[in-house]
Amino acid sequence: MCMSIFICIFAAENNKPIYTDMRRILFFVCAALALNMCDNTQEQLKQRAAELCQYIPDHELKKCSRYYMTEDFYNVLDTMFNLPAHEAMDHEWLYYFVTGNGGTVPEYEVIGVELTDENHAVATIRVRQTWEDGYQSEDNGEDRYEEHSLYMERVNEEWLISDFDGHKADCINYIANNKKEQAVRAAIFDYLVSEIGPKYEQGDLCFPTLMIVAEEEVDSIQTMTVWGDFWVEWYNRGEEESLQFVSGGNHAGRLTLIKDGNQYAVKSFEQTVDGAKNEASAKRIFGKHYEVYQGMHSNQDVRDAVRQEQMDEYFSK
């Protein structure tokens, strides 16, 4: 009733047909409603983004995160976080999505959300670091923060994390490279066991330690050259799962591998020679990689650490 009276008065004062003014009023009403709905949608997305921030991986991937992430993003992260620790730590962004080396607690602030289509949005978030004693990180007395992008996807009417700073692609690439690396290492391991192992006094277990110096792909990734410092050793199994050294030795050199489907096979192995010509042969075989090789080969502590690391991984399978 009030609206009808308003329309009549408005039309009479402007001496225009009522239906024309009605259309104008309806236009402004609809526009106002649309803006209001947009504001409500933005506010709801900001609130949801703030909730999802609590499940951003930070030194760990919480199991409950699966309920706040798209299935594919969670599965990719789960694969990464279950890689052997020494491999995952080669890519610190995996463990340090937010708080660097740790010791701080992240505080999140959602600055805004951009709706890219009806099922996808990107939230810009600020992250401030607060130490456990409550002290907040500052830079020259000013508020210190970093901005990140939280990607959201609507699945079954619920907004979930679908990516964070583009790390999903990083993870997928690393997983693919890791599979290839594992295939290369498996081929080298098997070759050393079958071709080099029988040359020594045998025990219960032949275990090669692989210290990769460098790798190069040729011929459209069908052929790979691997330089490495390899140690082939036999062990007997002792009490309480201990291993007793039997025999073994060093076999450094350059391997050529051929790709066969998803696997690799060793085609040739040129080794350094023993005795007085060892250094000359090593320089010739390793070439530009010689200094790296020499650093590995001459460091007993590094060799022991790598051997233990690879044994732990071997026996955990």
Residues 296-307: tens digit of each pLDDT: 999 999 999 999
Q: In this structure, are 41 and 73 located in the same domain?
A: no
Average pLDDT over the chain reads 84
Residue ending a domain, choose from 143, 171, 199: 171
Summarize pLDDT for 147-172 with one digit per residue, the tens. 999 999 999 999 999 999 998 998 89
Query: Percent of the chain scored above 70 by pLDDT?
Result: 77
CA distance 203 to 205: 6
Q: In this structure, are 190 and 271 located in the same domain?
A: yes
Q: In this structure, are 60 and 157 located in the same domain?
A: yes
Q: Is the pLDDT of residue 190 over 70?
A: yes
Q: In this structure, are 142 and 162 located in the same domain?
A: yes
Q: In this structure, are 180 and 253 located in the same domain?
A: yes
CATH number at residue 93: 3.10.450
Q: Is the pLDDT of residue 281 over 60?
A: yes
Q: In this structure, are 15 and 135 located in the same domain?
A: no
Q: Is the pLDDT of residue 135 over 90?
A: no
Residue ending a domain, choose from 141, 171, 201: 171
State the pLDDT confidence band at 129, using cuts at 50, 70 and 90: confident
Q: In this structure, are 78 and 204 located in the same domain?
A: no
Residue ending a domain, choose from 142, 171, 200: 171
Q: In this structure, are 67 and 36 located in the same domain?
A: no
Q: In this structure, are 105 and 203 located in the same domain?
A: no
Q: In this structure, are 254 and 186 located in the same domain?
A: yes
Q: In this structure, are 84 and 41 located in the same domain?
A: no
Q: Is the pLDDT of residue 76 over 50?
A: yes
What is the residue range of 68's domain? 54-171
Q: In this structure, are 278 and 186 located in the same domain?
A: yes
Domain count, the chain: 3
